[in-house]
Structure 1
Amino acid sequence: MSLPRTSTQVSFPSGSVQDRSTVLAVLDLPEGRTGIITGSTPFHPLDHTWPDQPSDTGTLVVDGVDLAVVDCVTGGVGPEGVLSLGAEIPVRRGEEGWAWLVVHVVEAAEATGVTVGAAAELRVDAERRAALSAAHTGCHLLALALNAALAPRWRKDPGRRDALGHPDFDSLAMESSRMDTTASTDVYRIGKSLRKKGFTADDLAADLPTITAAVNEQLAAWVAADAPVRIEAPGPELTARRRWCCDLPEGSASIFCGGTHLHHLGELTALRTELRLSEDGTGLTAVTAPERR
């Protein structure tokens, strides 16, 4: 089977949920499923390197037949022409000599008539996308607000600051970040390495209600400001290094990001986080829930 040797062009960074393209490959997958690769797509796949945002789901219409897209994964074709999927990919996205593909996963029983060269209409589940986008935008805003609230706890400059000029606790302490359709969950590790960089966790448990209140006050102010949000990308390829940008009252903020987002913060009615500290004080979890209009 001939596999595409150029990366899939994606339109999800602009917020697109529909596209038309051509089927380039049809793959047999485990568990009775089929992978369909098209030249372009609005579907956001799960990133194998940093799987924070779940994949889009939706529908592919091929030759008048509706195929339910139950998953969407990243595929990589190496210099030898071998395809790897998801966690099996041995290199980071963007590795030179690799083609990076969006693989739409459907049930094999529904895809028996799909052939290479067929025209395809691609439709993302727009409601699910909107919920994931709200959670992802909320995640980035939480990072900036938390950095600001924790700024007084740095005894020295850690050498990394966020776009608003605060010590970047979010980046330096991040252990994992995951979104679903209701919230983002960010887990931070407050260990020896963070303390060596200058962060102090003294009395953090006692101060957590005050910190949480400060973060939520900032989030509410940003939502009320209805700041515009955009994704900047150097090109349409899946491998393009995209940047989330938000023109907040304090200044333009940006964070490298491969996910999907709101177009402006006024799409929310509220955004609140809950901060929890582990019993031993080495783990901080932030669950940030947006409310959409």
Structure 2
Amino acid sequence: MTAPSLPAVSTQVTFPAGDVEGRSTVVACVPLPDGRHGVVVERTPFHPLDHTWPDQPADTGTLAGQAVLDCVTGGLSPEGELSLGADIPVRRGDADWSWLVVHVVAEPVAVGEDVELRVDADRRAALCASHTGCHLLALALNSALAPRWRKDPGRSDSLGSPDFDSLAMDTSRMDTAASYDVYRIGKSLKKKGFTADGLADELAAVTDAVNARLAAWVAADSSVRVEAPSPELTARREWHASLPEGHASIFCGGTHLHHLGELAALTAELRLSEDGTELTVTTTPKRA
């Protein structure tokens, strides 16, 4: 859709620091095809669904007292064409495009109005728990599967284990209850050096090792933070955790806990497909 009124300036975001409220000026209000309206402000605490890697759901809440029904990523092309979500034809962060947080509401909001933005804080906290749990699972799984690499695959995680999580990842999704990761154990992974023989027989032991490590990390109440080089939506942010084994980091655009003591428990369930080519992990946080 053509949106000549939209400014060619990317939205600034405050959710990386954990903000759930703020005030800002409305810079555009765009009618959407379904009759709703997309509101863009200068600065927002809302986390939108990422169109390139849609792992974390969008925040909900209110804007100027109206319910924010959805929150999506918008891309404004150099020609002034606005695309939303999956319709964006370029990858996140393309330097020629402007990147916008588009808050979907029922009624239009006046451009220039100073509005209050409030994120549903409890829902955000649940999503943070699931997202932090997802990263911890990746590190614990990498460690548990490290003995299965017969050679260096050329990629390690920040704690030094071969990075099974990134090399085998197919999909990663989360909701307010858990995170769900699907890994492909195919020919390409085996060519990199991963040995899948006997994994089905050892899956219970691998699960125990993963859960023991997750429990130790939760008990250590390790600190967690997200570093952002700039406030723009598409800045390349990085998750950091100070774990007993060392400093861990993963590039991530989502929201997270501030310390692992916000969890009472974190457990993973591993399932291997009958043909051994797909490993599915459900990681469930229990908030303190």
- TM class by smaller structure: over 0.9
Tell me whether 1:58 sits opposite 2:61 in the alignment: yes
Query: How far is 1:104 from its partner?
Result: 0.2
Deviations along 1:142-197, whole A, 9 cap, x unmatched?
00000000000000000000000000000000000000000000000000000000
- Residue 259 of structure 1 corresponds to 254
- Secondary structure in 1 aligned to 2:219? helix
* 4+ runs deviating over 4 angstroms: none
How far residue 30 of structure 1 moved from its aligned partner, in angstroms, is 2.2
- Which residue of 1 is the match for residue 28 of structure 2? 25
Q: CA deviation at 1:81?
A: 1.0
Identical columns (%): 73
Cα distance in 2 between the residues matched to 1:15 and 1:150: 33
Alignment RMSD: 0.6
CA distance in structure 1 between the partners assigned to 2:35 and 2:60 by the alignment: 18
Partner of 1:277: 272
Aligned to 1:156, the other structure's residue is in SS state: coil
Q: What is the CA–CA distance in structure 2 between the aligned matches of 1:119 and 1:77, rounded to whole Å?
A: 23
Matched, 1:147 2:142: yes
Alignment of 1:163 with 2:162, yes or no, is no
Which segments of 5 or more consecutive residues in structure 2 lack a partner in the other structure?
A: none
TM-score (norm 1): 0.96
User: Shift in Å at residue 33 of structure 1?
Assistant: 1.1
Correspondence list, 1:213-232, <5 A: 213-232=208-227
Deviations 1:69-99 (A, max 9, x none): 0100000101111111001111111111110
Aligned to 2:240: 245
In structure 2, give the amino acid aligned to 1:90: P
Task: Determine the C-alpha separation between the residues in 2 that align with 1:29 and 1:272.
Answer: 41
Which runs of structure 2 are paired with 1:187-198 in the superposition (5 Å)?
187-198=182-193
| Structure-2 separation of matches of 1:28 and 1:277 | 46
Aligned partners of 2:234 and 2:269: how far apart in 1? 34
Q: Distance in 1 between matches of 2:113 and 2:20?
A: 20
Partner of 1:44: 47
Which whole-Å CA distance do the structure 2 matches of 1:135 and 1:105 have between them?
A: 24
For residues 4 and 281 of structure 1, the distance between their equivalents in structure 2, rounded to whole angstroms, comes to 50
Please point out which of 100, 113, 120 is paired with 1:118: 113
Query: Equivalents in 2 of 1:79, 1:5: separation in Å?
Result: 8
User: For residues 11 and 32 of structure 2, what CA distance do their matches in structure 1 show?
Assistant: 19
**Offset from partner CA, 1:211-269 (integer Å, 9 cap, x none):** 00000000000000000000011011101100000000111100000000000000000
Mapping for residues 57-76 of structure 1, pairs under 5 Å: 57-61=60-64, 66-76=65-75
Which stretches in structure 1 are left out of the alignment for 5+ residues?
none
User: Counterpart amino acid of 1:177?
Assistant: S
Offset from partner CA, 1:30-88 (integer Å, 9 cap, x none): 22211000000000000000000000000011xxxx21001000001011111110011
**Residues 1:176 and 2:175 are matched in the alignment:** no
Equivalent residue pairs, number:
285
* 2:130 maps to amino acid: A
